[in-house]
Chain A
Amino acid sequence: MSKSTNYIIGVFNDEDVLMDAVSTLKSSGVKIQEAYTPFPVHGLDDALGYKPSNLPIAAFLFGLTGTICALLLTIGTMGFDWPMDIGGKPFVPLPHFIPVTFELTILLASLGMVATFLIISNLKPWGHDPFMFDGRSTDDKFLIVIDLDKNKMDKVALTNLFKQTGASEVNSKIVENH
């Protein structure tokens, strides 16, 4: 086991060149570690072969939890725990409970999904200055990062391939493993 990983980084200036580069690299059998972009590039996740995110499913399940909790709360308190006679109306008038049920559904769906997103993406305010392959990727550069050890091609071949696909720079970086 090596203690460090060798990465080779292709730097691109344009999202369309990046997209073409991703498909060229893929068809040449190169395994791409990750791509970094300053803004969401549509179709990049498909090109990299990422499955669609399951976050909407998480949102639905959290929303469902909200609906159930809200119905239990409103029906439980108004219908069973302390039924109140309000102008002779039914104790459990479901239409009156729609607003609270709706709001709690939305609240739990949103908060639950965002919490899931933060946890699975390891986004938290403390404890880490994130490792950046190239800080300019939050400004206007697009990066394709390749792990040299996981690919058959050597550094020179990959550099040439990057240059052919239109990379403005090709850099390498050695990262100490934790």
Chain B
Amino acid sequence: MQVTSPVRPPLVTGGKTVSDVTQDISRHVENKPTKLWIMAFTLSVITLCYGSYCLWTTWYKGIGMWGLNKTIGWAWDITNFVWWVGIGHAGTLISAILLLFRQKWRTSINRAAEAMTIFAVICAASFIVAHMGRPWLAYWALPLPNAFGSLWVNFNSPLVWDVFAISTYFTVSLVFWYIGLVPDFATIRERATGVRRVAYGALSLGWDGSAKAWQRYEAVSLVLAGCSTPLVLSVHTIVSMDFATSVIPGWHATIFPPYFVAGAIFSGFAMVLTLMLITRVVFRLEDYITVEHMESMNKVIVLTGSIVGIAYLSEFFIAWYSHVPYESYTFINRAFGDDYWWAYWSMMTCNVISPQLFWFRTVRRSIAWTFLLSIVVNIGMWFERFVIIATSLSRDFIPSSWAYFSPTLYDIGDYLFTFGLFFTLFLLFAKFFPVVNMAEVKAIIKSSSAKKDTK
């Protein structure tokens, strides 16, 4: 029954049958949480509690709690925002763009990657709201009729575009993710009894798996993928325009949109790898998330990492070639200045040099190397945003305004808040929702599963 392609390596190993897929994935939803899960969850909730205290203080007392000064008005807040939004991009890329490209290996990882997208965007939004200073007035960013004589938001401003881009991105990703979950909830519903049957029955929206329903489901998936593909590219493009449309040397660059999108995919894939390499071990999903998946993602990382590297070099070249003294100074200061050279070279090492190791097949296929490099890439991408934001601002046009940014405990605490939130949500997702898209994996079992060992 099962066919192994002579050309392509199998996507699902271990000779799994369709029923095995249901068993292996539903098991984690149905069993009691493991000790490891409880430990990880406790740690996440403690981090979340400490972070919530810091975030509450920031909200209550204002952003003076951060290390900002009048020269450096954006630092960790916007760095963290861009970092989290970037991480979110991998989920949509995997589920939408790889669906349009008919890349079947996406099926094992798209569910978790999309969940990661949604949680990452929530984390990103927390910084946007906090950095407004008066978060309870966040609705002022919306074009609502108001008491100021209908003074509307300025639709020329990239910050307003960002409000639309991020909220659309969040909504569409959430809907896409949920529609994909519906058939799997129905599978769990049919196996469950009592309260769990009622709960998963409600979550499954009464899905019955009829041919008509599947036909519509496929039509919806394809159109949502078609919508999400330009959407995901637009989101980081617009985020980059927050900087590129300004006149700050170091920000004012036409290269920003493609450079940011490549960086977003780069960091997103790294985060997917970090999470999936842990998830496959904890939930014993080694047959579904295989070394082949890891290698495919590593190839995307080496591609996008190289694009990012070329963007760094182009920026430097253009700074010289443009003959704009401010631009040249900003870049020389970034790399060789006394204040931030360490941030710049951390970025260069982590983002440009380290992913080049993935040209070697042994490194691409080594779990230890991949795990290590995926974390290195995310550290590097955090530094990239910090370098762009803080170093460009630190040397103002007037030397008397030059300043240095040092984070306070609240900068760190608010960052920890997002880690606590992200991992709390991800662990809840991993426990109560099927972490692998069962229906989609079942659909490829016949064509892409390894034969059972005949012993």
Q: Could you mark each residue 41-55 of chain A with 1 if its beta carbon is under 8 Å from any beta carbon of chain B, else 0?
A: 100110010101101
Given A15-B446, A99-B238, answer yes or no on A39-B155 (Cβ-Cβ < 8 Å): no
Q: Could you mark each residue 429-455 of chain B with 1 if its beta carbon is under 8 Å from any beta carbon of chain A, else 0?
A: 000000000011011001000000000
Kindly list chain B residues whose C-beta atoms are within 8 Å of the C-beta of A45.
211-212, 214-215
Would you call A130 an interface residue if the criterion is a C-beta within 8 Å of the partner chain's C-beta atoms? yes
Shortest Cβ distance from A82 into chain B, in angstroms? 6
Contact of A37 with B151 in the complex, beta carbons under 8 Å: no
Q: Could you mark each residue 63-88 of chain A with 1 if its beta carbon is under 8 Å from any beta carbon of chain B, else 0?
A: 00000000001100110011010100
Would you call A3 an interface residue if the criterion is a C-beta within 8 Å of the partner chain's C-beta atoms? no
Contact of B183 with A78 in the complex, beta carbons under 8 Å: no
Q: Which of B239-281 contact A (CB under 8 A)?
A: 241
Chain A residue, CB-CB nearest to B19: A140
Contact of A38 with B216 in the complex, beta carbons under 8 Å: no
- Chain B residues bordering chain A, tally (CB within 8 A): 67
Kindly list chain B residues whose C-beta atoms are within 8 Å of the C-beta of A74.
155
Give the complex CA separation of A8 and B156 in angstroms: 63
Kindly list chain B residues whose C-beta atoms are within 8 Å of the C-beta of A178.
none
Q: In the complex, which of the residues B172, B209, B230 contacts A38, with contact meaning CB atoms closer than 8 Å? A: B209
Would you call B190 an interface residue if the criterion is a C-beta within 8 Å of the partner chain's C-beta atoms? yes
Kindly list chain B residues whose C-beta atoms are within 8 Å of the C-beta of A107.
168, 171-172
Give the complex CA separation of A43 and B433 in angstroms: 29
- Chain A residues bordering chain B, tally (CB within 8 A): 64
Q: Which of A104-124 contact B (CB under 8 A)?
A: 104, 106-107, 109-111, 113-114, 117-118, 120-124
Would you call B154 an interface residue if the criterion is a C-beta within 8 Å of the partner chain's C-beta atoms? yes
- What's the dominant secondary structure at chain B's contact region? helix
Give the complex CA separation of A84 and B187 in angstroms: 56
Would you call B201 an interface residue if the criterion is a C-beta within 8 Å of the partner chain's C-beta atoms? yes
Shortest Cβ distance from B87 into chain A, in angstroms? 20
Would you call B354 an interface residue if the criterion is a C-beta within 8 Å of the partner chain's C-beta atoms? no
Q: Could you mark each residue 130-157 of chain A with 1 if its beta carbon is under 8 Å from any beta carbon of chain B, else 0?
A: 1110011111100000000000000000
Contact of B151 with A82 in the complex, beta carbons under 8 Å: yes
Contact of A100 with B154 in the complex, beta carbons under 8 Å: no
Contact of A100 with B161 in the complex, beta carbons under 8 Å: yes
Give the complex CA separation of A137 and B18 in angstroms: 11
Given A73-B143, A113-B220, answer yes or no on A34-B211 (Cβ-Cβ < 8 Å): yes
Can you list 28 A-B contacts with CB-CB less than 8 angstroms, sorted by A residue number? A14-B1, A16-B446, A38-B183, A40-B214, A40-B439, A50-B211, A55-B223, A59-B227, A78-B155, A81-B150, A82-B152, A86-B156, A96-B156, A99-B165, A99-B238, A100-B155, A107-B171, A110-B176, A110-B223, A111-B171, A111-B175, A113-B224, A117-B220, A118-B205, A123-B182, A130-B206, A135-B190, A139-B18
- Which are the 8 A-B pairs with shortest beta-carbon distances? A140-B18, A77-B152, A123-B205, A135-B190, A99-B161, A140-B19, A53-B219, A45-B215
Q: Apart from A52-B219, A99-B238, A102-B234, what are 9 other A-B pairs with CB-CB below 8 Å?
A: A36-B208, A45-B211, A78-B154, A78-B155, A103-B164, A106-B227, A110-B175, A111-B172, A123-B206
